[in-house]
Structure 1
Amino acid sequence: MKRFTLSPVAAAATLTLVLAGQHATAQQAAAPKPAAEAENKLEQVVIIGQRASRNAAVQSKRDADQVVESIVADDIGKFPDNTVAEALQRVPGVQTVVGFNNEIVNPLIRGIGDIITTVDGREMFTGVGRGFAFQDLPAEAISRADVYKSAGANVLEGGVAGAIDLKLRKPMEFRKGLTLVVNGRASKGEFTTDPSTKLGVLGSYRVQTDAGEIGFLADVSYADHKFNRPISFNCDPRSGTNGPAGAAGIVLPTCVGGLTDTGGYQRPQANASIQWRPNAQNEFYADALYAGYRGKFGTYFIFSDIFAAANITNAKASTDCFKAHINGAGFLGSATDGIQNLCNGVSATFNNVPGLTSTQAKTGATDQRVLAAGWKYNAGPLSLHLDASHMASDNRNRNIIVDIGKQIASVDIVVNAGDYGTTNMPGNPLGSKTDFRFANGLFQDINWAKSEQNAVALKGSYELDGFITSVDFGVRAADRDSAWRANEAGGPGAPGGNRVTLVSSATQLPADFLIQAPNCIPQINGCQPWMTPNPDYLRNNTDVLRVLYGSQPGDPAYAPVNNYDATERNYALYVQPHYETTVGGMRLDGVFGGRFVRSERTISGAGRINNVVTPQTASSTTNHFLPNASAKLEVVPNLIVRATAGVTMSRPGLGDLNPTVNYSVPLNANIIPGGSGGNPELKDQMSTAYDLSIEKYFGKGSYVQAAVYHRVLKDRVVRSVAREVIGGVTYDMSRPRNLGKATLKGLELSAQYFLDMLPGALSGVGVFGNYTMADSVVNTPGDKLFGKPLLGVSKHSYNAGVLYEKFGITSRLTYTWRDKFNEGQIDCLVASPAENGLATGICGNNNAPYYNRVKAYGRLDFAIGYQVTPQLSVSFNANNLTGAKYYSYFQNESFPHDIRSDDKFYGLSFNFKL
């Protein structure tokens, strides 16, 4: 008999669908509570089950005045995904990437990353940045996340792309008496040896007293995450005609190598809340939040500078050939350099080459703290909400790097082994401790950032009769102080000179100073290990290394030219009337209004002029009026046409605003000198956006929507070089600058449907999906990206999934995909023409842009859970079932850049509730 097996992917899909057809043999789960119809009512309901959470999210989407997408927790301590950013990638119009530690990070809303993050409506940021690291707040602590994709006068300013508000649990959400929830998770990646774990406990107590109703809540969690992410890479292309003998006319990598980011981090979190309602009109509350991060990991490199070889043999060329101007070093040259006929390489052997390994010993710590208190009043037509908060963020990082190297006999490379390159060092010479020498200097990068912000906000609403049904209004003032300190990254040179002193001759170093790298890279040496400096020794004995390298003990002093202090005060005032009427028998409602914003800031730093450190201070004030309007027309029951328009803004980064300048007055008047600095005159980036959608709702939680959007950005901040006259001398100064406009327009399609009409067990099936087309273009004449798309934006992306919930079983299978995108721009690159029609290569101000491009990729995730008892549920999840990997290439797919192996994760979790 012929036998067959199911792949993990097929098995997951089959299991999800089979669940829909099985008989009701499992214990019936508790019926979900009905979804609330508005956000203020949602705060009084504990959602149970993924269908109930999706119903609540759809209801919020329908009722919102802006274009809003919501993600609601399935239950207390049960968010739909492992992290908030992971859940956000399912939202229409949101794209994400995988970080170095295999976490989903850096959400973009419709192609733009300037997002303001709030927690319970209060601004959150990390260090001196404008953004917040979503992953620092555990998903289990979140009750819901709201993604605002259009403007609203009542939405906190600062995100030109939009805003994301994360809501924590509050005690008045729960029933009276004691509620206790314990949740835990354990997961294991294929590339890690140890599992990742997370444990959380939430307790809430709500009681009626003679003084009124009082609620107390405390939520604590601790996560310990282990990770390993192998990467293999080719360095930038280079003409073999100008390199070692043996590869004339063939384009080969300048170097080859790989790295692994390996280690772990911990995230402690605690939040608490007290609510007191002395009567039906008043509520007083106090909130506290702590979110921490402690990371300790290493980046382990293996590398060969193959163009320093004695010669090249067995060089083979592909049929991908082109012409380009090449300079003497073998890189893309100017129009005055000669033209070479070149073909991208297939493979080659480099003989007598330098090999290198390196350890970057990294530690990082972040502490985020919020203390807040407030009052809510609701009586008759008037409601008020007063909130005062203190937010502090402290971020510290250390990176100590030691490079070692030796000469090796040969390196065999394959430039393109199907989306990536491979490297083989016969005999694995870097796997032996012998003959390693110190290479390069002792690199030390130590920095510290701190910000504190005090804010007070009063907002309210007054109900009216007539066309204007109510008026929202509010004021806010925030005072932020920030400081950044960093040394001048680098350090003393290698002892005795580069690659002179043997590591084994340094008697002050222990026998275990060189260790075997903790993981391997599949595309390098057949995944054989290599020797590298011990990261723990680098962290704990840095002073011994400093003396060995000829420096003084102790951390290097923070460099005045890297330091700055900033004070920023922001004020806002808004008014937003709600209206409602009928047009031809159809209900029409919406809002119109505006937000006035004023910012006052002073930043002090220090520049270096003729090698003399000079203190510099700059102050600025900006004022903006941000109008908005929306309209919802219910054409027939449950069929809505929605239109919105509005202006949003984001403030430049504090580091970009730093007034520091660095330059030297030239001795030769015939030479145009260079310099660099920040730019205190940067304008705020502005965006004007328009949205139009048609939405049809079916029963509870089912809908279909089609939307188009158009956004114009102006005063984008880009670092560029321009001529400036300082003291009568002309300089080529590199600074961040406001460089014009970009346009982003597109289409969003989304739908969710529960198959309630099916008989029996099949009625638990639901399907969902969304598609986004984001068409962006830079409209700034003179910008090298003029007429090209914004970096980091995929034109097409989609999510599709099937879920099942019945008889205590809940299951979900989801596929998330994004199209290729241009990750970064490279000014001068030896590259063959690609899809943008690049002509014969010239390196100069007018050359067409070259890119590091990322191929399209998708991830398949699966989860299944069971309600064992009304109190206990268990679940299993599998992330990245297909083992999707990141592939990038230099301009053309025939010359790959790197492959980043995103891990697969398998996990078990439980949720126990009393």
Structure 2
Amino acid sequence: MRRIPAFTASVIALAIAGQAHAQAAQEGTTPANGQDGAAAGTAQSTAGSPAEAPDQAGDATAADDGSEIVVTGIRASLARAAEIKRTAAQVVDSIVAQDIGKFPDPTTAAALQRVPGVQVTVGGNNEIQNPLIRGLGDILTTLDGREIFTSDGRTFAFQDLPAEAIARLDVYKSNTANLIEGGVAGTIDLRLNKPFNYTEPTIAISGKLNYPSNVEKLGPQVSFLATDRWDTSIGEIGALLNVSWYDIPFNRPYNYVAERRAGSGSSEGILLPISTGGLNEYGRYQRPQANGSIQWQATPSLEIYIDGLYSAYRSKFSTGFYEYRLGTAESVSNIVRSDNCFTANVGPDGFNPNATTDPTQITQQQLCGFTSATFNNLEAFSSTQAHNNRTDTWLAAGGFRFDRDRLKANVDVSYERSIVNNENFIVDIGKRVPEATLALVNDDQTATITAPGNPMADARGLTFINALFQDYVRSSGGLFAVKGDATYETDTILKTIEVGARYADRSARFQQVQLGVAPPGGSFATPITAIDLPLERAPGIPQINNGAPFLLPSRDYLLSDSGQATIRDFFGAPDGQPAFDPTREFNVGENSYAGYVQAGYEVPFGSGPVVLDGKLGVRYTRTDRDITGTGVVSGSPVTTTSSNSDTDWLPNASARLQLGGGLQLRATYARTIARPSFASLNPGLNYIVSTNPNIRNSGSGGNPDLRPQKSDSFDATFEYYWNDGYFAIAGYYRDISDRVVNGVTAEEIDGIVYNISRPRNVGSAKLKGIEVSAQTFFSFLPGDLAGFGAFGNFTLADSKIGGDDPLAGYTLQGVSKYNFNAGLLYDRNGISARVVYTYRSKYFDEDRSGAGDVRPVGTETWLNYVRPNGRLDFSLGYDINKNVTLTVEGSNILRSRYRSYIDQDFLWRDTRTDDSLYAVGVRTRF
């Protein structure tokens, strides 16, 4: 029989609590709502064990002599998550760490994709990011109940907080009045470890080597946790420190086919891409992180605490472009037309005439796609975008908790500061090449490009083209918040009376400079040997020349002081980093005030097991905001300040009907809001003339008149729990008003047409669907087979934009209609294993209605769709003894890829080759 490791004994109280709940359900008694199961039972604990159950959990049974506990890891975390779901006042799903540093996925964002109804995307460095709850990204993130964000935004970059720091995360899909407002989609609360969760000194150390298959290099990550608690003359004091560090190499190749225009000459009648190519994002990133906590039990009723967090991101990496400018070809030959044709309106430039008002300049043409074509004597180029990116986030907080008799109260004061500094130094090189062949036919629906001899791997004839382009960004945000909550328990049907208030002072600032300087003599005129430009080989893109490497400017040289000085002098740019452009800046000051009152009720029906409980409440919130932005209008800088205030009442109601035997029904209603991002509210307008003649000029602007999004949210669930698992089915409906989307429209400014991207409110939107989730272990099987288990969830998200918006009748941006997870588990005899498949159906991620792509006559809406895809992950752990565990992990082992098309299935656009990541690790605990 295995003794529990010191740091896992927090699982004991919760597991026995879960058994007590199941027994109570059969006997017709249930702990009061909100106890989270922890108060339903007690357990013995061993040295070094967490003493409190709320933050860690497990599945446990006592030995015959009562002195030993048998604990299982995956079973423990799933049991705890099910208990949180069962007893919560809201519709909530949770993930609980199985051990210190043993979250079930490598990152916090990656773990979120396992939650029913949560969808994610993959970032340029191959990390999972941008979670959506039921297709919506308007999520409020809290850390131990405190609002947290990254830089000048309202959202938090989940990948900035390593999984090693997390004890548990809760995804709230319905609101109650005590939760901070700000998420139409829901709230994600991240919980860190605390010292009073442990009874005796505990040290945990883990290390892992990651192997990304695209890079074929190793990347280490390590974490360390130490905690202890002491009895002193002024009360018990506990302290905890947790630090972690990643250093991960990455390479994510992209392949793209750009927007189509009507061909001419030898390509007349053909849907001709203006360019095709790809890019590698490659380099390394580091994520240092530290968090700590001190707790002081000053009296039996009063606890005082101080918490701190520092998380950071560091990355020097390249975005290496490799493009063939098809529009510069002298001729197009070997065209193999496809049967995919349509009639399009065509402007004088061959593009969709969305900015042309003179009907005499518009022609109708029958245009067809092609499966293969050769472009002769055309321009090709490669480009190094040399990035040096840094993110730093600090959070400090303190407060007290009071718990005596019927009264519970807490006051929390926190301050957060988050700063992002991004440096981007770009140099393009190129030459004319004899030919390139683009093929648009294969079962994989990915474009392939070949050029004989791979000419961009040969340094001969390379010249400077386009411009030296410098882009520097500094964005920052700060938040000072004070929050107080109190709960009073009664002996009536009205079980609790809850009140609270919050004040938040938020600031944000964004600064940027973009400076482009043309090369001496113009593009394709000056050889790179003029300054002896160092080159490097990019890793290569699978769809271009079969993945052969290509040459581009050295990233390290472009990021070095000497390299930048030489290049600036050569291009005639000012010395040193350019000062921030006052026309690319905004400043925000925002104060928000909130207060709530809420009642918890419980109505027993006779002496049987049937009990009705829930919450009734309302939250009042007021937001006062000033935002100042400067942009360029008609060639002159214009500074605009916008001031506005929003006041909202946010009611909520929930009811849970417990029927006994583990069966319960739930219904909730809540009104929620999501404030627009500060960048979306920025009144400034900026635009730039493209240095690439084949790409239209572009710009972006904010909209200070954006209104907060609001949602009336309804949920209903059927839930059944048993000792080894649960089954739940939920229906949900969201009636959303003032939904914000970004769209591109063609605007003429000083006689030049720009594609301007702006956010707007689209009126109403509806989101409804069904979630089904289940998990169980097959304990009825004989012997070691009893360690097997399974889990799965499926979400149907049916969304539709309403009103008179151009997108009326379409789905919400980023929403997949179908999403599911399916997994097999094993947990027995020191072995814990998991394999899980995650899938999401197609969705659109960009509205290109205002772009220049030619399209069928009468087509106003033109969207970029992402094809369905799925990922297969696994993990395997083996306990060598009670102190040491070995692990092997793999993610995306089937090499899932992002593949998109522009409105019509045959108009292929992007392929992004996501990485497969393998890892081996060891965890020790004492």
**Same-fold call, TM > 0.5?**
yes
Q: Give 1:394's aligned amino acid.
A: I
Partners of 2:275 and 2:326 within 8 A in 1: yes
Shift of 1:616: 2.9
**Contact residue 332 and residue 841 of structure 1 kept, 8 A:** no
Is the aligned partner of 1:201 residue 2:224? yes
1:85-104 residue CA offsets vs partner (Å, 9 max, x unmatched)? 11110111100011111111
TM-score (norm 2): 0.89
In structure 1, distance between residues paired with 2:37 and 2:865: 45
For residues 530 and 684 of structure 2, the distance between their equivalents in structure 1, rounded to whole angstroms, comes to 44
Distance 1:542 1:188 in 2: 33
Tell whether the 8 Å contact from 1:289 to 1:369 is kept in structure 2 after alignment: yes
Counterpart residue number, 2:259: 236
Task: Give the drift of 1:425.
Answer: 0.8
Query: 1:16 matched to which residue of 2?
Result: none
**Corresponding residue for 2:784?**
761
Contact 2:824–2:835 (8 Å) recurs in 1: yes
2:654 to 607, 627, 630: 630
Between 411-420 and 333-342, the greater mean CA deviation after superposition: 333-342
Do the aligned residues in 2 keep the contact of 1:544 with 1:553 (CA within 8 Å)? Answer: no
Are 2:235 and 1:212 aligned? yes
Instruction: Identify the residue that residue 305 of structure 1 maps to in structure 2.
Output: 325
Residues 538-574 of structure 1: per-residue CA shift (max 9 Å, x gap): 1112222111111210222211121122111111101
In 2: Cα distance, 1:595 partner to 1:723 partner: 42
CA contact (8 A) 2:795 2:819 kept: yes
Is structure 2 residue 867 aligned with structure 1 residue 841?
Answer: no
Instruction: Identify the residue that residue 694 of structure 2 maps to in structure 1.
Output: none
In 2, distance between residues paired with 1:662 and 1:46? 52
CA contact (8 A) 2:205 2:923 kept: yes
Instruction: Describe the SS at the equivalent of 1:538.
Output: helix
The CA deviation string for residues 280-317 of structure 1, in whole angstroms up to 9 with x for no partner, is 21111111110011111001111111121111111001
Task: Report matched runs for 1:568-717 at 5 Å.
Answer: 568-583=590-605, 586-660=610-684, 677-700=701-724, 702-717=725-740
> Alpha-carbon deviations, 1:25-60, whole Å to 9, x = none?
x97877963435644833365646111111000000
- Cα distance in 2 for partners of 1:734, 1:276 equals 52
- Superposition deviation, residue 715 in structure 1: 1.3
Mark the CA change 1:45 to 1:824 in structure 2 (over 3 Å): closer, same or farther. closer
Match of 2:904 among 871, 878, 892: 892
Q: How far apart, CA to CA, are the structure 2 residues paired with 1:27 and 1:495?
A: 74
1:515 paired residue number: 536
TM-score by length of 1: 0.90
| Displacement after TM superposition at 1:635 (Å) | 2.8
Shift of 1:830: 8.8
Match of 2:308 in 1: 288
For residue 764 of structure 2, what is the amino acid of its counterpart? K
The equivalent of 1:431 in structure 2 is: 457
The verdict on how the C-alpha distance between 1:496 and 1:266 changes in structure 2, with shifts beyond 3 A counting, is same
1:43 aligns with: 54
Distance in 2, matches of 1:790 and 1:542, equals 44
Report the Cα distance in structure 2 between the residues aligned to 1:813 and 1:249, rounded to whole angstroms.
50
Aligned CA distance change for structure 1 residues 534 and 203 (closer, same or farther; 3 Å): same
For 1:531 and 1:145, locate their aligned partners in 2 and report how far apart those are by CA, in whole Å: 45
- 1:360 is displaced (CA, Å) by 0.4
| Structure-2 change in CA distance of 1:608 and 1:228 (3 Å) | closer
Which residue number in structure 1 is paired with residue 129 of structure 2? Answer: 105
| Aligned with residue 484 of structure 2, among 453, 458, 463 | 458
1:316-341 per-residue CA deviation (whole Å, 9 max, x = no partner) reads: 01122222222333333467632222
2:626, 2:502 → 1: CA distance?
A: 20
The Cα of 1:505 is off from its aligned counterpart by 2.2
Per-residue Cα deviation, 1:339-391 (whole angstroms, up to 9, x for no partner): 22222100011110101000000011111101111111100000011111111
Please say if residues 762 and 801 of structure 2, whose CA atoms lie closer than 8 Å, have aligned partners that are also in contact: no
Judged with a 3 Å threshold, the aligned counterparts in structure 2 of structure 1 residues 599 and 40 are, in CA distance, closer, same or farther, namely farther
Paired residue secondary structure (1:491): strand
Aligned to 2:422: 397
Is 1:536 aligned to residue 556 of structure 2? yes
Amino acid corresponding to residue 180 of structure 1 in structure 2:
I
* Matches of 1:828 and 1:617, distance apart in 2: 28
Contact 2:535 2:554 (8 Å CA) reproduced? yes
Asked if structure 2 preserves the Cα contact closer than 8 Å seen for 1:349 and 1:411, the reply is yes
Q: Measure the CA separation in 1 of the matches of 2:209 and 2:684.
A: 48
How far is the alpha carbon of 1:441 from its aligned partner?
A: 1.0
Match of 1:524 among 544, 548, 556: 544
1:886, distance to aligned residue in structure 2 (A): 1.4
User: Per-residue displacement from partner, 1:131-173 (whole Å, max 9, x unpaired)?
Assistant: 0100111101100000001111111111111110000000000
Aligned to 1:151: 175
Moved more, 123-132 or 678-687: 678-687
Query: CA distance change for structure 1 residues 596 and 516 in 2, over 3 Å: closer, same or farther?
Result: same
Greater displacement, 388-397 / 605-614: 605-614
- Provide the residue aligned with 2:381 in structure 1: 356
The reply to whether residue 279 of structure 1 matches residue 302 of structure 2 is no
- With over 3 angstroms needed to count, the CA separation of the structure-2 counterparts of 1:161 and 1:579, relative to structure 1, is same
Identical-residue share of aligned pairs (%): 41
Give distance in 2, aligned partners of 1:866 and 1:76. 15
The answer to whether residue 139 in structure 2 is matched with residue 115 in structure 1 is yes
Indicate the SS of the match to 2:809: coil
TM-superposed CA distance for 1:682, in Å, is: 2.4
Matched, 1:793 2:818: no
Confirm or deny that 1:65 pairs with 2:89: yes
Shift of 1:733: 9.6
Q: Matches of 1:449 and 1:676 in 2, distance apart?
A: 17
The Cα shift of 1:605 comes to 2.9
**Alpha-carbon offset, residue 432 of structure 1:** 0.8
Q: CA deviation at 1:535?
A: 0.9
In the TM superposition, residue 860 of structure 1 has moved relative to its aligned partner by 0.6
Cα distance in structure 1, aligned partners of 2:405 and 2:193 = 27
2:751 alignment partner in structure 1: none
Instruction: Give SS of 1:249's match.
Output: coil
| Counterpart Cα distance in 2 of 1:157 and 1:459 | 15
Higher mean C-alpha displacement, 715-724 vs 83-92: 715-724
What RMSD, in angstroms, separates the aligned Cα atoms of the two structures?
Answer: 2.4
**8 Å CA contact 1:29, 1:867 repeated in 2:** no
Cα 1:170/1:662, change in 2 over 3 Å: closer
Residues 1:777 and 1:338: Cα distance change in structure 2 (over 3 Å)? same
Equivalent AA in structure 2 for residue 131 of structure 1: T
Residues 829 and 348 (structure 1 numbering): CA distance in 2 closer, same or farther, change over 3 Å?
farther
Query: Structure 2 CA distance, aligned partners of 1:69 and 1:661?
Result: 41
- The answer to whether residue 160 in structure 2 is matched with residue 140 in structure 1 is no
Provide the aligned length of Structure 1 versus Structure 2.
853
Aligned residue for 1:183? 206
Provide, for residues 180-228 of structure 1, a one-character-per-residue CA deviation record: whole Å limited to 9, x for no partner. 0001111101111321211011000112223221111011111111100
The residue that corresponds to 1:385 in the other structure is 410
The one-letter amino acid paired with 2:833 is: S
With over 3 angstroms needed to count, the CA separation of the structure-2 counterparts of 1:720 and 1:772, relative to structure 1, is closer
SS of the residue corresponding to residue 566 of structure 2 reads helix
Instruction: Give 5+ residue unaligned stretches, structure 2.
Output: 19-34, 39-52, 59-71, 688-697, 748-753
Q: Say if 1:827 and 1:438 are closer, same or farther in 2 by CA, change over 3 A.
A: same
